[in-house]
Every structure is written in structure tokens, then in C-alpha cells.
Amino acid sequence: IHKSCHGFLPAPRHLRCQFLSGAEAPRWNDHDTPEEFNFASGVLDYWTQMEKEGKRGPNPALWWVNDQGDEVKWSFREMTDLTRRAANVFTQTGGLRQGDHLALILPRVPEWWLVTVGCIRTGIVFTPGTTLMKAKDILYRLQVSKAKGIITTDTLAPEVDSVASECPALKIKFLVSDHSREGWLDFRSLIKSASSDHTCVKSKTMDPMAIFFTSGTSGLPKMAKHNQGLALRSSFPSCRKLLQLKTSDVFWCLSDPGWILAVLASMFEAWTAGSTVFIHHLPRFDPNVIVQTLSKYPITQCLAAPSVFRMILQQDFTSLRFPTLEHTCAGGEALLPEEQEQWRRQTGVLLYQVYGQSETGITCGILRGMKIKPGSMGKAIPPFDVQIIDDKGDVLPPNTEGNIGIRIKPTKPIGLFMCYQDDPVKTAETECGDFYNTGDRATMDAEGYIWFLGRSDDVINASGYRIGPAEVESALAEHPAVAESAVVSSPDPIRGEVVKAFVVLTPQFLSRDRDQLTKELQEHVKSVTAPYKYPRKVEFVPELPKTITGKIKRNELRKKEFGQL
Ligand code: BCO
């Protein structure tokens, strides 16, 4: 990948709106459903044209940095060129076709943006995943998604190779690396030699675009399938009001590219506005690097999980004043009012909240400039009609606890997932009367502000990660010390919630040192599945509470953790 010498001069604060004049991205109304939509041709190429016509400032479209001082800056023109090449690599060299699935497991590298947009240009459905995954996680995903292709780095390529023979649908493997590997196509050199002539597919708005894996109470993660409408929604006026991004903004979303938040914020939201997407490679989370980056680069807006802001606030930084930062937003888990206040006091910048899921994208939020009610996740963002509903789907009066529902009848709104791929039963289970039931509990006040309360099921939200207890229990079951286990959410001052495992030991391990065993079980879970799922708390118990039919009462254990019993 070549590095552009594209010059970048951040506009002074008082001039930051100048690039807006004459350069408005194509717009729709909140409830429009155009027959055809494609983010690559409709949005990205639009900004390329604006650049050509001198109607957009000099800021790059993508600005990537790492700790070693490497930097990549690509203009929209370069993005169009490179993503057309990527499209040709996938179709001409890789033989992939519109509708095929491509597993995308890359860290925060510039190629991630080439792959996603390259897929959108061709209609290939990308399925992002975090690089924290282990071979077993990858095997499951490749098998259930029937991915024909995979693209990853040399760190994960051996894991893929160890399971590839069990994935009959997998035909092609792309490697993003400076080294080659047998059986893998070298994406970086292919991009260099590929043609930049490519005609974007005329995708229908309802055509599938991406699949996000998302955890539930039972079983392994489900596949939330989204159509092109997920990207279209970012063009709707109500969505634009959320961050009010401009071409002069430099926007940094810290979410790992395996999650929907990165796809939405680091691509659709930012580029719809013609803003600069800023990315730090950030191979490991480090609050120091985040604070230094916000101080060094002209970042104007930043979006991250509440845990990130919490972890920064808990360090002893001498100053948290950032020269260009104007707006910050937290999403992925609950944010506490005192954290919002502490962030404002120390940085001078307000911390807003957004809420969404892999199934829904950004569902509600405090729009920039809207009154912040500390602790509230804001109001519904049209076209979503969000209501608090009971178990029959009836709308509840203000200030009454219920499930967060999004109206899907008579019309399913643009931006909501299509279905769980190959799982009509689980898809149907989310329908409740005229609503999609998020499974999240909340209240809504008379002004329409929504107040998050927790999950209605056993799903754990630890520092913004949605974790299914069954995934952790299944990993624990592989260890010889574990006779059975129950995994629940437990409160934590830093991560909001953490994973806690109640473990019944097998007889031969009963006399073992408990602290040592705890560490061993934690390391075991980290080694067989993505480490963010490991139980940070372990309690050894003689037996688990069960119903008369033998079902583990996770609910009882969870309530005890939260002092509700
Ligand atoms: O705590 P330990 O050190 O024992 O273990 C940690 C990490 O060290 C380890 N780990 C992390 N990166 C690794 C690694 N191990 C090997 N190789 C690596 N590259 O894994 C354990 C768990 O990591 P973690 O990520 O939970 O903790 P960490 O590293 O302290 O990071 C903290 C956060 C806050 C940065 C992280 O939890 C995070 O990124 N959270 C946000 C997740 C997110 O973006 N959620 C949004 C989902 S999409 C959505 O909600 C829809 C919204 C529309």
C-alpha cells in the first residue's frame, strides 16, 4: 500500500464550515426508500467528484496513524481508485460474485476500508469479526455464514488454516501482510496491479450488504443481516443531526472494526458528511495513547464505548484539555451521569450518549446541541419509532419500565436488520406485536428521553461487548476441572459489567488451590475463544441453583450479584 503525500492542513476553528458551501451530499428524507442505493457510488464517489470540482477542502478522507510514526492519508479520489481496485481483486482474481459472503477479520489497518467499500461496489456481503477471535470462533463463523472468502492478517492466517478443511464453502483466502503465505492471495500486491476501472453494481436498497455476528442468551452468535439501507440511513436528515459532521471535521471512532459501531461511525456517518475518518492502529487498548492522540492530532469529534472514557478518567492525567476536540459521544453500553459530568469538567467538552445494537444500528441518542439529561440515552432517531412496550407489544405510558421496541408494522424502517440469517425462528422471536423487541429494558419520560435499565435476558454487556453466557460456559466446559458452570453478569466500577462464572468442580480438582485454578480457567477461556469474554470473576460453588426441570437459574445468580435478592 502506498502512502499518499496528500498535504493536510487543519482548518482554523473559525473557518471550519467553509467547505460546506456547494458541497452537500445527496439527501433523502427520513422516510424515503429509494429503489436503488449504493454507498460507494452514491456517497464516496460523490465526494470524489466534489474534490475534483474544488468543492471540498484539502482534508483527507482517511487518515491512519500508528505508534511507529507511520501515516496513511488518502483523499476521496484515492479511496475511489483503491476501492475500485479492491472490487476487481475480489471479483476478477478471487472469483467472488454479488451475494457471496466474505469474512473480514482485520485490525484497524487502512485496507479494512478498501475491503468494505470494495465489497459494497460489487455487492459482496462482508461479515466483520474482531481479530481477538480464536480458531474455534473463526470456524463457527465460516461454517454458519458459508463464507466463500476470507481476508485477514498473518497473525490469524494460521488459525484459519487450522480449520479451513472443515469449511467446504471457503474457496479463497486473502492475506493483508508484507509477507506471503502459501495458499493465500497477497491483497497488498494485488491492489497495486489491479485495474481501477470498475462499474459499481446497481444495488437495490433492500439488497444484503453486511452480516454482523451478535451474541444471545443461548447458543452461539446469531447473524444479523443488514441491507444497503443501513448505509442509506446515515444520509437521512435526522441521522445527520446526531453528530452534525462537516467536511472539515476529523472524526475518530475507537471501536474495533469487528463491530457494527465501526462500520457506522468510521465509514457511513463520517463519509456521508464528507468528513475525515481518523484511525489509530491501536493494537492494544492504552488510555495514554488515546490521550496523546487527542492532543497531537486535530481531531474534532470522538466516539467510543463509555468504558474508554471511564478508563481515561480513572488515570491520573495532568491535563485532559484537547486543542481541537469539540464533541464526544459514548455508545455500546450504559454511561453514568457522574461520568458525563466528570468528563465535561476535565475536558471542557460535553459527552453525549448514543444507543444501538448490531440489529438496529444507532437507534437513539442525544443529538448534538440537544439538551443533555444526564444518564439518558436520548430520543429515538427517525425513521425509528421507538416505544417502551410490554410483553404483548402494547405501548406503555411514560416513566413505566418495559422493553425498548422499534415499530416494524405496517412498515419496517430503513436501517433495521433484515433477519437473522438462516434462522427464521430466532428472527420471529424478536417480533412483539407491531414492534421489534430489542430485549433491553428502559423507561421513556414525557419528553421522549429514554433511560436504560438493563437486559431482559441473560446477555452480558461488558465494556461494550455483548457476550452470551452459553459461549463462555461452553469454553469452560472444555476444561477438565469444570463439572458445570453458570455464567452471569456482575457489576464492575470500570467496565460497567463483567463476566462472572459460578463453577462446580469435578471431584479430582476439589483439593486444588482456588486462586491458581481461577487463573488457569481464565487463561483457558482466553485461549479457546476471544479473550474479551473471559470471566474476570470466578466463584467455586458446590452446586448451581436449578429449576425442577434442571434448567440453571442464571437469573437468580445475576440478581444476587446486583444485590437484588
Ligand atoms: O484484562 P486482561 O489484560 O486480562 O485481558 C484483556 C486484554 O488484555 C486481552 N486483549 C486485548 N487485546 C488483545 C488481548 N489479548 C491478546 N491480543 C490482543 N490483541 O483481552 C482481554 C479482554 O480485552 P478487553 O477488550 O475487554 O479489555 P481492554 O483491552 O482493557 O479494552 C477495554 C476497552 C474498553 C477498549 C474494550 O473493552 C472495548 O473496546 N470495548 C468497546 C467494545 C465496542 O466497541 N462495542 C461496540 C459494539 S457495537 C454496538 O454496541 C452497537 C452500537 C450501535
- Per the prediction, the chain carries an average pLDDT of 94
Rounded Cα distance, 558 and 545, in Å? 11
What is the pLDDT, as a whole number, of residue 499? 98
Q: Is 9 exposed, middle or buried (0-12, 13-18, 19+ CB in 10 A)?
A: exposed
- Residue nearest (by alpha carbon) to ligand 1 atom 23: 532
Rounded to whole angstroms, the Cα distance separating 443 from 423 reads 30
326-385 pLDDT, tens digit per residue, is 999 999 999 999 999 999 999 999 999 999 999 999 999 999 999 999 999 999 999 999
- Measured by CA distance, the residue closest to atom 27 of ligand 1 is 532
Cα 561 to middle of ligand 1, angstroms? 22
Q: Of 304, 290, 279, which is closest to residue 61 (Cα–Cα)?
A: 279
Is the peptide bond preceding residue 383 cis, with omega within 30 degrees of 0? yes
Nearest-atom index, ligand 1, CA of 531: 20
Residue 21, pLDDT score: 36
Over 60: is that where the pLDDT of 407 sits? yes
ipTM for the complex shown: 0.96
Cα of 464 vs centre of ligand 1, distance in Å, is: 8
Atom of ligand 1 nearest to the CA of 131: 19
Tell me the per-residue pLDDT of 426-442, one tens digit each, with 9 for 90 and over. 999 999 999 999 999 99
Ligand 1 environment, Cβ below 6 A: 132, 255-256, 259-261, 283-285, 305, 307-308, 331-332, 356-358, 361-362, 463-465, 531-532
Residue 333 alpha carbon, nearest atom of ligand 1: 50
Q: How close is the Cα of 401 to the center of ligand 1, in Å?
A: 31
In angstroms, the CA 26 to CA 377 distance is 29
My answer on whether omega of the bond before 491 falls inside 30° of 0, hence cis, is: no
CB atoms closer than 10 angstroms to residue 143: 15
Of the pLDDT bands very low, low, confident and very high (cuts 50, 70, 90), residue 5 is very low
DSSP conformation class of 2 = P
Q: Tell me which residue has its CA closest to atom 46 in ligand 1.
A: 332
In contact, 148 and 169? CB cutoff 8 Å: yes
pLDDT of residue 2 exceeding 80: no
Measured distance CA(151)–CA(128) in Å, rounded: 10
Band (pLDDT 50/70/90 cuts) for residue 564 is confident
pLDDT at 28: 86
Give the ligand 1 atom nearest the CA of 305. 41
- Of the pLDDT bands very low, low, confident and very high (cuts 50, 70, 90), residue 25 is low
CA of 495 to the centre of ligand 1 (A): 10
**For residue 430, how many other CB atoms are within 10 A of its CB?**
21
CA of 137 to the centre of ligand 1 (A): 16
Q: Is the dihedral of CA 83, 89, 91, 97 positive or negative?
A: negative
Look up cell 459530568; give the residue.
341
Q: pLDDT tens across 263-276, in order?
A: 999 999 999 999 99
What pLDDT, on the 0 to 100 scale, is given for residue 512?
Answer: 97
Question: How do beta strands 101-105 and 125-128 pair?
Answer: parallel
Rounded Cα distance between 525 and 521, Å, is 6
Q: How many C-alpha atoms does 70 have within 13 Å on its Cβ side? A: 13
For residue 260, give the ligand 1 atom closest to its CA. 48
Share of the chain above pLDDT 70, in %: 95
Atom of ligand 1 nearest to the CA of 311: 34
378-403 per-position pLDDT tens digit: 999 999 999 999 999 999 999 999 99
**Contacts (Cβ under 8 Å, ≥6 apart) of 203:** 36, 37, 38, 120, 123, 209, 228
Whole-structure pTM value = 0.94
Q: 466 C-alpha vs ligand 1 centroid, how far in Å? A: 11
Residue 271 cell numbers, joined: 463519509
What's the farthest any 2 CA atoms get from each other in the chain? 75
> What pLDDT is recorded for position 218?
86
Atom of ligand 1 nearest to the CA of 361: 53
Whether pLDDT at 43 is above 70: yes
Ligand 1 pocket test, candidate residues 234, 532, 533, most atoms within 8 A of CB? 532
pLDDT tens digits, one per residue of 506-543: 999 999 999 999 999 999 999 999 999 999 999 999 99
List beta partners, residue 360: none
- Interval between CA 532 and ligand 1 midpoint (Å): 5
Residue 392 φ then ψ, to 5°: -100, -5
Residue 493: pLDDT above 60?
yes
Element (H, E) at 110: none
Q: How is residue 181 annotated by DSSP?
A: -
